[in-house]
Homo-oligomer: A and B are copies of this chain.
């Protein structure tokens, strides 16, 4: 056991004071990034503190600036990470083997559960929009990755139209936006909403009820009469 307060995180985590300098550049980099995701998502860009990120990553501020340049570029790296993460998860859904209706339900369910499991994504998406999508725009990775993200919904919708389960006149972009919206808004604004509607919104039952309602909503939109 470590003699003092050091909680011994990670694999070997040599105490930086006694057995100095573990020397793990890429691990340090990813620790900084993880800490930055947490800090930025909790406090927003302006509210986030670089020192706090460095402390959370158990690293000197110096290295943070060495790896990421400045606060803004670090934020950009954070945005890139969370977007590529969700796109990767989305891509591994393997919807082709499901009938269109089930595939669409799976897509809604995925977004819902992902937003719940990764509240930092919605928070950061939100913050990035407050900043006018500045970092999104200037990121090559994101510009390229975004192309194939919408492709998923488009494919499912097209298959459903082809076999007659879905209406032929649905704009996939509108559908996708609505799918994200009904998940995002509920989770993002539950704090005020729970007061406005006088109801607990984040209990397990409430979350399941909302998922069911959202699935119903999406199906109501696309299902042929």
Residues of A within 8 A of B (CB): 43-47, 123, 125-126, 128-130, 132-133, 136-137, 142-143, 146-147, 149-150, 171, 173-174, 176-178, 180-182, 184-186, 188-199, 209-210, 213-214, 216-217, 220-221
Chain B contacts for A177, CB-based, 8 A: 182, 185-186, 193, 197, 210
Chain copies in the assembled complex? 2
Contacting residues, chain B, for A199 (C-beta < 8 A): 173
CB <8 Å contact, A146 and B44 = no
Taking a contact as CB atoms closer than 8 A, the residue among B143, B173, B195 that contacts A143 in the complex is: B195
B contact residues around A185 at 8 Å (CB): 177, 180-181, 184-185
A-B contact pairs, 27 of them (CB 8 A): A45-B47, A46-B46, A126-B126, A129-B188, A129-B191, A133-B192, A133-B194, A136-B195, A137-B195, A143-B195, A146-B195, A146-B197, A147-B198, A171-B209, A174-B210, A177-B182, A177-B185, A177-B186, A177-B193, A178-B214, A180-B185, A181-B181, A181-B186, A184-B189, A217-B220, A217-B221, A220-B221
**Bound CA span A213–B213, Å:** 18
Q: A43-B46, A126-B126, A185-B185 are in contact. List 17 more A-B contacts (CB 8 A).
A: A45-B47, A126-B130, A129-B188, A129-B190, A129-B191, A136-B192, A142-B195, A146-B197, A150-B196, A171-B209, A171-B213, A176-B197, A177-B182, A178-B217, A181-B182, A181-B185, A220-B221
